[in-house]
Amino acid sequence: MSRIPSSEIKKPVRILNAAVIVAALGYFVDIYDLLLFGIVRTDSLKDLGITGDAIRNQGEYLISMQMFGMLFGGILWGILGDKKGRISVLFGSILIYSVANIANGMVTTVDGYAFWRLIAGIGLAGELGAGITLVAESLPKEKRGYGTMIVASVGVSGAVAAYLVYQIFQDWRLCYYAGGVLGILLLFLRISISESGMFKKVHESAEKKGDFLSLFKDKKRFSKYFQCILIGVPLWFLVGVLITFSPEFAKALGVQGFETVAAGKAIAWCYAGLVFGDIASGLLSQWFKSRKKIMFLFLVFNLIMVFVYLNAFGITASTFYTLCFIMGFSVGYWVLFVTIAAEQFGTNIRATVTTTVPNFVRGSLPLIILIYGFFRDKIFDGNILQSGMIVGSILSVISILALWKLKETFHTDLNYSEKETQPFL
């Protein structure tokens, strides 16, 4: 690996700098839009004339389209982030998902809805990776964990904001319009931040930047990249299946007053817990000077909560929402997950990795839904509870094994570039 002299790079020591603030607000609007569909799913589909079981089926279709967009967008924005700059991606993605948000509020058909969820997914794919990369490169290694913690914890609270906005407006179209306006307003903050010194130095060099295929040209690098993806998958199974389809799970569990359980409220409670989980995991990783140890604890806690949730028969609706909150706390390792990804690779492909990894995790939801549907329909004859426990267990075990193989990155100096290698396939 070729190194850039540390003496040539100036790093601000102030944690709450402009890059952290803009990245946090950008991720806030990102999560607002990302989770808004889950909150307004039922009402928006009913308004478009969908009824009965078709609401669930069309909901799975629409969220899958959104995630396909994030898969494509993750690669696109990641490459651009290393070639053109983290800030260009940060605001280019905001512009696209803001326009898509407004367009979502104007749809009149499911196909139109699906198209704009796809475009929104492409836009949403760039925000987190660019923001985390910029923050990680703008802070010294002993403080960058605090910076990424602020970005993640402020960002995920956007889901709670989406639910509150929906409660105020009681109109799913106005909620989409609000998200679009928030994004456009955020664009005006661009003038307050600049690129990191690390990126500027690499950008001026002749080194190859944003080479997505380089992640597949070396066996060790590919394994590390794939492991970074695997450790985040359990979180999106919990959010994308167990919480998004919470009304169905509440009914299967015989929750008292299950008719009143709303997916939007469950998502809000889950993400409220996730805010506190991100803060806790971020602080604990700083105090114990380890990403892996704290990540492992949260992965185990998450698996325990999956079983608790899927065996909570006959509880009250309020207790059910409390479980959603605790479930959200248990996947508060999201901040560690994206920080680990950023710290594993060199500056010349860091944005590519940090942008594609979380989007591949979120984009894995269609596959997760297929696997979950296979167990539900083919193995357990429609039993969603047993299916959830099996899929949750499989994903958790895989993520723990992947985490075990990754190196500890807390003390890693990010001031290096990845060297070119020959294909191993």
In terms of pLDDT, which residue wins out, 410 or 418? 410
Per-residue pLDDT tens over the stretch 52-110: 878 878 887 888 888 888 889 888 988 888 888 778 888 888 889 899 999 999 999 99
Within a domain: 423 = no
Strand partners, 417: 2
Residue 248 lies in a domain: yes
Position 179, amino acid: G
Asked if the structure places residue 205 within a domain, the reply is no
> Could you report the per-residue pLDDT of 111-131, keeping only the tens digit for each?
999 999 999 999 988 888 888
- pLDDT score at 9: 46
Domain around 253: 15-194+216-408
Measured between alpha carbons, how far is 134 from 126 in angstroms, rounded to an integer?
A: 12
pTM of the model: 0.81
Place of tokens 């009149």: 108
In a domain, 282, yes or no: yes
Mean pLDDT of 267-290: 92
The band of 191, judged by pLDDT with boundaries at 50, 70 and 90, is low
Task: Flag whether 4 is in a domain.
Answer: no
Q: What is the rounded CA–CA span in Å between residue 67 and residue 366?
A: 7
Spatial distance between the Cα atoms of 336 and 352, rounded to a whole number of angstroms: 18
Which amino acid is located at 347 in the chain? T
> In the prediction, which pLDDT does 329 show?
96
- Average pLDDT across the chain, whole number: 86
- For residue 82, tell me if it sits in a domain: yes
In a domain, 7, yes or no: no
Calculate mean pLDDT across residues 221-233.
Answer: 94
pLDDT at 307 over 90: yes
Contact 20, 151 (CB under 8 A): yes
> Which of 218, 214, 192 minimizes the C-alpha distance to 138?
192
Task: Tell which wins on pLDDT, 193 or 127.
Answer: 127
421 located within any domain:
no
Residue 356 makes CB contacts below 8 A (sequence gap 6+) with: 74, 75, 78, 129, 212
How many folded domains does the chain comprise? Answer: 1
CATH of the domain at 302: 1.20.1250.20
